[in-house]
Every structure is written in C-alpha cells, then in structure tokens.
Structure 1
Amino acid sequence: MTAATDRAVRADDGEDLAIVPRRNPLNLVGIVVLAVLGAMLVHTLVTNDNFDWGVVKLYLNAEAIARGALLTVELTAISMVLGVLLGIVLAVMRLSRSRVLSASAWAFVWFFRGTPLLIQLIFWFNLSALFPRLSLGIPFGPEFVSGSANAFITPFVAALLGLSLNEGAYMAEIVRGGLLSIDRGQSEAAQALGMRPAKTLRRVVLPQAMRAIVPPTANQTLSMLKNTSLVSVLGAADLLHATQIIYSRTYQTIPLLIVAALWYLAMTSVLSVAQYYLERFYQRGDLGASRRRLFPRRHAAETAEADSPKAVS
C-alpha cells in the first residue's frame, strides 16, 4: 500500500484530519493596506519637523509634568476606591426589597449617569454660588463646624466629588450585574447554613461575582485615568493642566500634547497589564476559560480531536 493510499484510507476512517482554515484573499489586501498606512505614518513622524521631537524629549521628564502625572494617579486611585465602595452600596440598595432604598439608588444612578461629567465637575467647583457657607451639625439645630464653601471646595476636592460620585453610579450597575449573575441557590444554601444576609453577601455572593465585576471595573479604571484630564478646567494641577501651562508660555502646543499623550499611554499600559493578571487571578477556578483564552488553537484542535469518529468510537 502506497503512502498516498494509506493517507486516503486513514482520512476515510476519520484519522489524522487537520483543520485547515479557508484562505481569504482579502486578508492579503488588508495586510498590504495596513503596511502602506504604517509606512506613511512612520514617514510623517520622521520627516515632519512640526512634531519637534527634541522638545518632546526635553519635557518628557520635566518636574512639572511628573507632578501632574502623580496628581492624575492620585485622583484616579482615590476616586476609584470611593466609587467602588459607593457602587457596592448602591447595588445592594437597588437589589433590596425596600422600595424606598431601591428607588433612591435608582434615582442616584439615573441622575449621575444622565448628566455629563464635565457639568458635574463645574457644578461642584461652583457650589459656593448656592451655599456660601457650609456647616456640620444637627438639622434645624446647633452647628458644630462651619466655614466658607470656597475654602472647603478646592479644585482637588471638587474633582474628587465629581469623579467619585459619577463613578459610583456606573459601578453600581456593574456590581448589580455581577450579583445578578450568581445563582440564587448560592444565597439560599448559605441561609440554610445559618449565615446572615450581610455575611452571605460578603463571603459567598460577592467573591463569586468578582469574576464578572473585575473586567468592566478595570475598564472603568482606565476611563477614570483619562477622565481626570477634565479637571484641568477647574485649575487642578493634573497632567493635562501642567502641559497646558507650559505650552501657553512656550507656544509649543503639539509637542507638549504629545508628551501628555505618551504619559497617558504609559499609565494605561501599566493598568492594562495589572488588569490581565487580576482577571487571571479571579478566573483561576475556570481552567477551561483560561486555556481557551491563552491557547485558542490548541483548544480548537483538542475539541476537533474529541469530536472525531475515533474519539466517539
């Protein structure tokens, strides 16, 4: 029996069948188009003197830029922590049997998701126009602490209020979706063991929901990092505001904007790596999903082998 005949016989028996993807000529066209566009981009970056790469290199490690980047990171971290905590509370309120709590949480989410973040930031910064003085005390009773609203609502505080409250509204829906993804039988089993609702949420439901909560939360963190650029309108010395101050003095707008973009790209890249490992940590129980994500071709081959006539027999 020749080798060709042997391969034909084994093919008839369902053995040694390889999955060969269909060739698509459009893929070659797409590669050529992308290569041409990439070459044009590189040529533009190299030959266009208006980019002023020397200026970019000069200001990339400038002290003012570094301080602005540090404030951006601080705003992102604090606002995300406050937003996540607020979102968990709001999500639990939304799922509460109490109509008052559920309606209150819904109204909060509706308002802060329905109005632009920039308007919210400007509103908090100009809160003194409504309340010139802020006080802490008993309602309709004595005041314990009072002071000027302008002294309390600084650009940094206004930025934290706007970013945290807005993020809390989005996180509420993310957490609520994660909690609803857990089968109700988990809560019922925990209650049958005598666990209280708060402990059931903390020890049973929420840890399992993290697998569905972490990916969108990481995306929200990336969005938060970029949304901090809006606080430049308040005069907060973030990364974008630092670059604006410099190019308003030197009139080198494009190079300074490139510097800010490179800093944002670097920070988002670090967060993306952290997101990958965090998702991998919470998906460690689902080995099948991890293998499908990391080794898609091997998974396809193993699936085909399992479905082959030999495997079935």
Structure 2
Amino acid sequence: MPESDLRRFLRRHFTAIDLLKIILSLASGYGIALLVQDTRVGVGVLALCLLAASGAFAIDRLRLATEDEVSSALRETKEQVHTDLSTLNREVSTHLARLRNELDRHIDLVHAGVRFVPDSQGDEEDGTGYDVATAAVLKARRRIYVVSDYSPPEGEGATLLDPPDNRSEYLDAIEDCLTERLTANGRPAVPLSYHRLIQRPPEIYAELVQRSVNGVELRREDMAGDLQAFEHLARVMDIARRAGANRRIDIQMRVIPFLPNCPSILLVDDEELQFTIPTRIDQPGDRFALLGLHGVMVMEDRASGTQLCDHFGSLFGRLKTKSLPIVKVRV
C-alpha cells in the first residue's frame, strides 16, 4: 500500500481513542505482572487501567453515536437538497415554458412591419412609391409575383398616359434580376419565378378569349392605356425565350379580367408584400382623369412568410386559374 494511502487509512480508521486503548492494554498487562511481585502496586495499576478503560469506552461509544447522527443528518440533508432541487427544476421549466408561450404570442402580434410610403411625384426628398418596389425586387431570390396596375384605354377610366420614370426603373429592375439569374455562374438552388397578372377591361379580355387557342398572342392594341407595360412584357418574353428550359428562371405572364377595387400587388420571396394605392388626377377642361399613385403600403412578413406571404401566394394561385397565359408578344 503506498505511503499516502496508508496515511489516509490510518487517519480515517485509527483515532486517539484507539491509541488510548492500546496503551491501557499494555498498562493492564504490566499491572498483572506486578501482582506477582507487589500486589498492592499491581492492584493500583489495574484499578487505574480499569477506570481509564471505562472512560475510553464511554468516549468511544459517544464518538460512534455522534458519527451515526452526523451521517444520518447528512443523508437527510442530501435528500432534502435533492427534493428542493427537483422542485426548483420543475418550477424553472414551467416558468420557461410560460415565457416561451408569451414570447410566441407577442411575436404573432407583431408578425408584420407595416409602413406607408407616399409618392412624392417628383419630390426627391420624400422618395416615390416605385422606389420601394424597385428596392424589394433587387433583393428577390425566389419569387416576384405581381398583379399589375389596371390602366384602361383613354376615355374608359383613369388613364396612365404619362407613367413616371420611377415606374420604368422598377420594371427595368425586374428584367435585370431575370437576366442576372440567367447568366450567373453555377446552378441556383431554386429558380427565380416572375409571375405577372395583367388586368385588362372585360371587353378586351373577352376578345383575347375568342382568339386564344393555346395561349394569348398579345398585340399592342390589347395593352392600350399602358404601353409601358407592353414594352416590358415584350422584353420579358424575349428573356424567357433565351432561357429555354434551363430552370434558372420561371416566367409566367398571364392576362386576367379587371378586378374591381384590386390594387396593384407585389409579392417578393417570403419577406415583403406591397400594395399600391392609386389616385385620380383630374385635369381641367375636357381632358379625362389621369391615373396617379397616392403611395405604397409596404408590409414585411417577420414570420418567414407564414402570416402574410404564403396566403397571398395562394391568392395568386387561385387567380391564375381565371387567367390566360401569354405565349407571344407581337411587337
């Protein structure tokens, strides 16, 4: 047994009482030996040893009793601490679960950030509604879904005769995103989808239905009132032709009949939803009212699309069932 182990063993199992017992045993033996030579001295030594032994055994019993009480007290303390810790753990778990539920509830209450961006109509300090649409489009990675403005021919409603430059920049940004995805190195994880639903007056839509067999061949006169969008469609269909079936981009241009009271809708990925709020610009004299933009309602879905974007994605899917696909644009 190593010296350190021997020292530890002796400290644990050999006490002063044990040493006293050894000395008393030796003294008793010596007293018995003295009985032969000197009875009186031997008896005295034995009596002294007997008294000392009685005291030593009494102390030893007290020590053993104390050790048992201490062990019992320690055991009870450990059991109580274990019980208290178990109770505390349950209380903490319950409290954390309650906090998580409260946090989830509050997140649901603020799942969307909403702001209104007024159209400046030329005031550069305020910015314009189309600028926020351009910014959203440039961040698109998965989808750009649009219900386009309703711009009827002149004389049939508020007409978009002179669209703002910012609208042109917004449409150009969409084309740039498609071209960039088409020419990028490597293969993207998902294609970039650009789906646009174009609202046309009921009579024009009815004519398109009549001449549509396997899809619409869109003509310039079909887009009277919004030739800017017509030029955009022509360029987008050319991009789709160049893309072929490489699955980098997914372009679907479709025509739907006029949806009363429906604003223009822009849905980008699972993050942002925008509504345009049109306005009527009345002109003096006999000239008919013009279509203007009052501003844009911008909503950011902070729940990974589950609270807003997914629902409007489903709306687009339902609207497509009432639409006609554009297969060619005749410039």
- TM surpasses 0.5: no
**Rg larger in structure:** 2
Considering Cα pairs closer than 8 Å and 6+ residues apart, tell me whether 1 or 2 has the greater RCO: 1
Higher helix share: 1
Higher strand share: 2
TM-score of the pair, normalised by structure 1 = 0.18
